[in-house]
Structure 1
Amino acid sequence: MTSKVPIEATMSAYGDLSTDRRSYRPLDKVTVQITGRYRGDQYCQIRVCDAQLQPYYEAKIELLDNRGEVSFHAAGALGVHWIYLYFPDSDRHSRYTNFLVDCETSIETGNPDYDELYPITKEALQLGRRDFTTPNGRFVGYISGDTWQIDGVWLRDWIYQLQAYCWWERQMTCGLDRFLEAQNPDGSIPDGIRRDGSTWRMAVESDVEYILVLGVYETWKVTGDDRWLERALPHLEKALKYVQNDPRRWDQEHQLVKRGHTCDTWDFEIQESSEFVGQRAVIANCDQSGYYLAYRAMAEMFRHLGHSQRANEFDRRAKDYRRRANDLLWDGTKYLHHVHLTPIEHPGFDESQQLAMGNVWAITRGLADHSQAVSIINEYRRRHQQTGDAFPWWSLQPGYPDELGYYDGPYCRQGGYANGGLMPWVGGELCRGCFEHGMEKYGLELYRQYIEHLRRTGNRVHVWYWPDGQPGFRTTNEVPYTGWGMAQWLEALIEGIAGLKDISGQMKTMEVAPRWAVTSEQEVRVTVRYAVNDCYFSYRMKIDEKTKTIWLQYAGSGDSVLFRVLLPQNWSPQSIRVKGKPVEFEQRRIEKSLYVEFFGSIERLEEVEIACS
């Protein structure tokens, strides 16, 4: 027969604690049940630490009948969190327990127009994900929605999906490594890579090199891999130097990039040739915004790595490049489609009146200042009302008339494909630009048009549409899940409406500019998270119309937040409190919209109260 169990060797001597669940998301309420020791305790303490063992919650709990309960909100670094239980007579914890904090990108409003776009987009783009082994190693990328290169990946179409796949993709760099390895001795970059490792390049294009820069830059901001960036930068410098040294790519007179006479950023010339025909050359607005942004990205990357002199050089280059491009291409209302460098006649057609798709990039890439951006947005709205076309998503408006005989393929008749077809990516960029420039109501109108399109078509998105809204076809490889198109609309939601932008990389500094005030939503919860690491940011927001108060609760893996909160119409800010303490703020008027701007830290669960009259 065993001896009596000593109570000092049982749970009763140590107390107990448990959580109501084992896993949570940031901002979730965690409820802890506590049982005191057998001797009886009047109170206890708990300390909660995140996965990096940083404390973010402490509390003293009164015990009644030797039991207590406390609740807090999960915050801090993702992973396994710790709750330590202390009693008054010891500095050492008596018990501990763990719970898991994890999350993925999501938007929760109770309205499927917002809540369902991320899962719809993720599911669709994953159908175009390609993972194959080339002779040089693994390649993971995303396809074009209509390419003849069915067994390869275009750099362009792939990188223009990065703003969506960054939230779920874990293989962020291997595909870019293959492109860096494929760089030619002169510095030029291929357009695409096939499964067997072979490459191709459309000669009339001059954008590939800046796209590689932007691809490396945006990928580095997600991964934070400085060693990878160090290895990539010499390739990027060589690529940009190539563009300035190749007489087919660089115009010495204007000191700007040139290309063949293509339809804006597309890859074929008049007569649908991918080669230079008759040595026709133009300076197109699409390339100028891209190289301006690439120079800014180079400056940021060099500065981060401690190369301040090189960073300053690229800052100057970007500033000068932007000035030269604006001087040449801005016509007072919009950016010209392009400027001819060699004589080209378009009998009976005024090419200067074309609204080219590159105009939306000029807005979102920063080539346009605020007044220019508003002018362009208003021109899109005016032409949409004037034409009655299904959407203001034109590649060109108008396209080149059929009478000019430029294109033989039926898909390139006026209003088709890159000659005036409607392209979803154009609409997505335009929508995001509206939110950035005080045109939130029009941006929301555009967003709702896209959501209605998804609802009507069963979430099918093609590369292009005829002006009446019919899907356009030109190859046997057309698929209704076009990533370069769907990604831009997701970005319009996440950056535009939800207002989340990673300023520094790895979400160390976030811009939080929620624009829910333009919608009818009054309670929202938004989370963004990079799947390749544990970087995340999450907020809850409540707009109380009765008290004219906005409440924000937020947490994240980073350090600081720049808030730019859109106020409901006719509200005037009176005070802002962060963690219960008043903070200084500025009012910023953008067109007819009023924002309040202030700073916040990310240390634990943080709360903001914006009181208005």
Structure 2
Amino acid sequence: MKRITHWFIVVILLVSCHSPAQQTADQVYEPFRSAWQAAGGMQIGPPLSEPRWIDDALAQYFATVKIVALANGSAVAERLPEHWRDQTPAAVITLPPATQRASLTLARPMNVVQPLQSLPIVVQIPAYRGSVEVQLYDARGRLTAQGTTVVTDGTGEIVLPAGGALGPQWAVALIDGRLAGARSQIVILDAQTSLISGQSDIDSLYPRIKGLMAEARVSYELNGRLISGYRSPDNPLLWLRDHVYQGRGFRYFEHDVTSLLDAFRDAQQPDGSLPDVIDYPERYVKAFRKEVESDVEFLYIQGVYEAWQMTGDDKWLQSHLPALRRAATYITTNPLRWNADRGLVRRPYTIDMWDFAYGPTTISPDGKPAPRHWIEPDTVWGTFHGDNTGLAYALFLLARIENRVGDPKRAQQYYELSDAIMQRLNELAWNGRCFTHFIPEDPTFTPTGVDPSTQLSLSNAYALNRRVLSVGQAQAIIETYYARRDFNRAFAEWYSIDPPFPAGSFGMAGGKGEQPGEYVNGGIMPLVGGELARGAFTFGFEPYGLDILRRYANLLRLTNASYLWYYPDGRPGISGPDTIPTDGWGASAMLGALFEGLAGIVDDSSRYEDTIVSPRWPVEPSITRAEVVVRYPASDGYLAYRWQRNERGIQLYITGSGQTASVRLLLPEAVGEEVTMTVDGVVVTPTIERIGISRYASIALERLNATITVTWP
């Protein structure tokens, strides 16, 4: 007994004689040991793994370096980037190595691929026959696709879809749960916005509009910085409203979405007000604002929020927060813009949001005849609904901004003010069919020659997409527009205002708009059609939304042009020598209807991190397959899906750079109440949403790179 005890003590003493450094060194074998010691030894810590085959070479991982064995029998230490663990699959480091060595390549050369593209991966394992699991990981180290192939005669092949975060994509081969090999950059994933449905009119919309809008892009140096934005179709200057509204379209192809908003922030006045036109030195233009406008501040808030959506840049968003707060304070307190008795935004009597007021032609400050852009003693004041739905929406967005980078208490106040504005507006201006265009502050005032209770003005279409209406209100507005679709009267029901004002109600000094059917006085505007179509898709009128898109696609096909407005008979509206046939405003609204409405991809955060996906392809029975990619070039944010339909079901494969998504699958009309949903083959219980006569089977996804199916008997 004493001999055994003595031997045990000796063993303990021998083990204890080895220092931690010696124990670590004993875990590192040549040729890795020499390279490890040369790189700092214990300063870089112990190995995180045994050697394994990475990129056809044996490699061993440490906390800050990867040591790679060379063909000459030596090894070299490679410094790892700071956040390398966030970009490397855990399986590459943690799984034990297999005894077999796998090499992974592509069956045909592909350096850069799009999401959803098929990757034919070849697995080579000399003298091996059996199953191999192949996994794809994205640039954030997240598993995006996997499958099993059988290797015979040392070779196997499998096809997996590309997806996940943009950048280098990993391919990993496993045998019985052990790592046989990995390729750190089998392809580079990039994304460009695209849409393929097999319907030529629909599929042509995005490339045509993108080409048209390129003609509306303006860039020049201002105060030592290059600014870029999208001009008005009828004016060469950079107007805040035109640029912001065109963001509905340029988000899919524009890299610089912040410089112009920075310039407007820098031009903000001490009272919080903003100009509507920015300086343009080459044209000798200084920043200015048409006095009658009361929507500039909410447009600035909306523009900043949407630019943040595209970039995901919280630091940039926070840099605008003080100016955003000042803008909100100005528009809700300044007596020139705010009616304290009504608790609503006020403005002179303009045609919807436009910048000239009711009354005959006046004289400008420089002594020339002009529309009434200025506030004058006889100006008619009142409440225009579009100012207030726009402000309510902007306050909702500002609350989100506060919750993200500011003060949650302020956020709650903005939410409450947004709700209060809509409650007061509904009581004042909602007439059961739409918002009454203008409610004068002087109850005795009535415009000549028109019944205001029958007028439908264009910001009703904008209200559909501002998250401020009840479902009933939105449906009533859509039905009101649809009821005015009369092709004997006008080629489209996208009226700026209907019925228009009599000739001379708004003096234009000889310019367009003085006569009914011209410009904003009853002209036909694609921007109305686009907003109307997006709202129709959202609120259960999907066939109507598709009908509008197809009519606009046909207009582009026939003319290869898009104007800000048209005469009711279809003639393009030419407001002056600066008019261009590239109406980015209306074209952007149509792109919103295409990608957010028909394709159904709505970013509910930024960079598509949290997305609402509602593919509405069943609205066209002849469409059985659609592939859609939406990308913000201003960041790495994108989402992509493949939608397929067969006789008894719908399948959706979804991928992207983000984290979560709410998936809502529109069910064909003929489908009964009994439906079954699976997510990656696992049965789940969907929520059935009803909007009008439309039904959606919905599920919340906690991760992307998933396949959702809905089947029915």
TM-score under structure 1 length normalisation: 0.93
Deviates more, 1:122-131 or 1:385-394: 385-394
Task: Give me the whole-angstrom Cα distance separating, in 2, the residues matched to 1:42 and 1:292.
Answer: 63
Could you list the per-position Cα deviations for residues 297-320 of structure 1 after superposition, in whole angstroms to 9, with x for gaps in the alignment? 011111122521111111111111
Cα separation, partners in 2 of 1:579 and 1:178, compared to 1, 3 Å? same
Compute the displacement of 1:455 (Å). 1.6
Is 1:70 the counterpart of 2:158 in the alignment? yes
Letter in 1 for 2:301: V
The question of 1:354 aligning with 2:354 is answered no
Which moves more between the two structures, 69-78 or 492-501?
A: 69-78
Aligned to 1:560: 660
Of the candidates 426, 433, 447, which is equivalent to residue 326 of structure 1?
426
Task: State the TM-score, normalizing by the size of structure 2.
Answer: 0.80
Quote the residue 2:116 is aligned against: 27
Within 2, Cα distance between the matches of 1:544 and 1:431?
27
Pairwise mapping of residues 558-597 of structure 1 onto structure 2 (< 5 A)?
558-572=658-672, 573-597=674-698
User: Who is 2:383 aligned against?
Assistant: 283
Corresponding residue number in structure 1 for 2:643:
541
Shift of 1:215: 0.2
2:628 alignment partner, one of 526, 533, 543: 526
Hey, what's the Cα distance between the residues in 1 that align with 2:639 and 2:506? 53
Q: Which residue of 2 is the match for residue 430 of structure 1?
A: 532
Does residue 224 of the first structure (1) align with residue 312 of the second (2)? Answer: yes
* Preserved CA contact (<8 Å) 1:41 1:66: yes
8 Å Cα contact 2:357/2:379 also seen in 1 = no
Partners of 1:463 and 1:112 lie apart in 2 by: 24
Aligned residue number for residue 216 of structure 2: 128
1:9 positional shift: 5.8
Matched, 1:166 2:166: no
**SS of 1:153's equivalent?**
coil
Aligned to 1:292: 392
Contact 2:486 2:493 in 1 (8 A): no
Distance 1:332 1:55 in 2: 51
Distance change (3 Å), C-alpha of 1:154 and 1:41: same
Give deviations 1:513-538, integer Å, cap 9, x for gaps. 11111113111101111111211111
CA RMSD of aligned residues (A): 2.2
Deviation at 1:386, TM superposition (A): 8.2
C-alpha separation in 1, matches of 2:691 and 2:172: 48
Trace 1:371-382 onto structure 2 (pairs within 5 A).
371-382=472-483
Partner SS, residue 385 of structure 1: coil
Aligned residue among 506, 509, 520 for 1:418: 520
Alpha-carbon separation, structure 1, partners of 2:192 and 2:343:
45
1:29 is aligned with what amino acid? S
The alpha-carbon distance between structure 1 residues 404 and 186, as it changes in their structure 2 partners (threshold 3 A), is closer
SS in 1 for 2:332: helix
Q: 1:471: which partner in 2?
A: 572
Bigger mean CA deviation after superposition, 171-180 or 22-31: 22-31
Kept in 2, the 8 Å contact 1:87–1:94? The answer is no
Shift of 1:36: 2.1
Q: Which amino acid aligns with 1:63?
A: V
After superposing on structure 2, the runs of 4+ consecutive aligned residues of structure 1 that deviate more than 6 Å are: 87-90
The one of 330, 333, 336 aligned to 1:245: 333
Distance 2:650 2:542 in 1: 18
Aligned 8 A contact 2:147 2:160 in 1: no
Question: In 1, Cα distance between the equivalents of 2:336 and 2:168?
Answer: 56
- The one-letter code matched in structure 1 to 2:262 is D
What displacement does 1:384 show?
2.0
SS of the counterpart of 1:199?
coil
Q: Does 2:562 align with 1:461?
A: yes
CA distance in 2, matches of 1:599, 1:463: 39
* Partners of 1:426 and 1:473 in 2: CA distance: 18
Q: 1:96 to 1:596 in 2, by over 3 A?
A: closer
Q: Report the Cα distance in structure 2 between the residues aligned to 1:96 and 1:305, rounded to whole angstroms.
A: 36
For residues 78-111 of structure 1, the C-alpha deviation after alignment (integer angstroms, 9 at most, x for no partner) is: 1111224467898573766521212211111122
With 376-385 and 486-495 compared, the bigger mean Cα shift is at 376-385
Matched, 1:409 2:499: no
Task: Output the amino acid matched with 1:325.
Answer: L
Partner of 2:576, secondary structure, is coil
Contact 1:398–1:415, Cα closer than 8 Å, also in 2: no
Give the Cα–Cα distance (whole angstroms) in 2 for the partners of residues 418 and 355 of structure 1: 12
1:600 corresponds to which of 689, 701, 704: 701
In 2, Cα distance between equivalents of 1:95 and 1:295? 48
Partner in structure 2 of residue 18 of structure 1? 105
**Structure 2 CA distance, aligned partners of 1:97 and 1:208?**
48
**In 2, Cα distance between equivalents of 1:194 and 1:403:** 32
1:56-96 per-residue CA deviation (whole Å, 9 max, x = no partner) reads 34555432112222222212211111224467898573766
> Are 1:195 and 2:296 matched, yes or no?
no
CA contact (8 A) 2:567 2:573 kept: yes
The residue identity in structure 1 corresponding to 2:491 is: A
Worse overlay, 212-221 or 582-591: 582-591
Q: Which amino acid aligns with 1:424?
A: P
Q: CA deviation at 1:128?
A: 1.0
Q: 2:242 aligns with which of 157, 167, 178?
A: 157
Q: Larger deviation: 400-409 or 390-399?
A: 400-409
In the other structure, the counterpart of 1:99 is: 187
Unaligned ranges ≥5, structure 2: 1-69, 73-99, 362-370
Deviations 1:446-498 (A, max 9, x none): 2221111112212x111111111111122101100011110000110101111
Letter in 1 for 2:473: Q
Instruction: Say if 1:88 and 1:182 are closer, same or farther in 2 by CA, change over 3 A.
Output: same
What are the ranges of 5 or more consecutive residues in structure 1 without an aligned counterpart?
1-7
Report the counterpart of residue 3 of structure 1 in structure 2.
none
Q: Percent identity?
A: 32
Larger Cα-atom Rg: 2
Alpha-carbon separation, structure 2, partners of 1:477 and 1:366? 35
- Distance, in Å, in 1 between the alignment partners of 2:244 and 2:181 is 50
What does residue 213 of structure 1 align with?
A: 301
Residue of structure 2 aligned with 1:498, choices 599, 615, 618: 599
Q: Deviations over 1:404-424 (max 9, x none)?
A: 574442522011111111111
Q: Is the 8 A contact 2:291 2:375 kept in 1?
A: yes
Q: Contact 1:15–1:95 (CA<8 Å) still a contact in 2?
A: no
Shift of 1:53: 2.7
Corresponding residue for 1:175? 260
User: 1:404 and 1:289, CA in 2 relative to 1: closer, same or farther beyond 3 A?
Assistant: closer
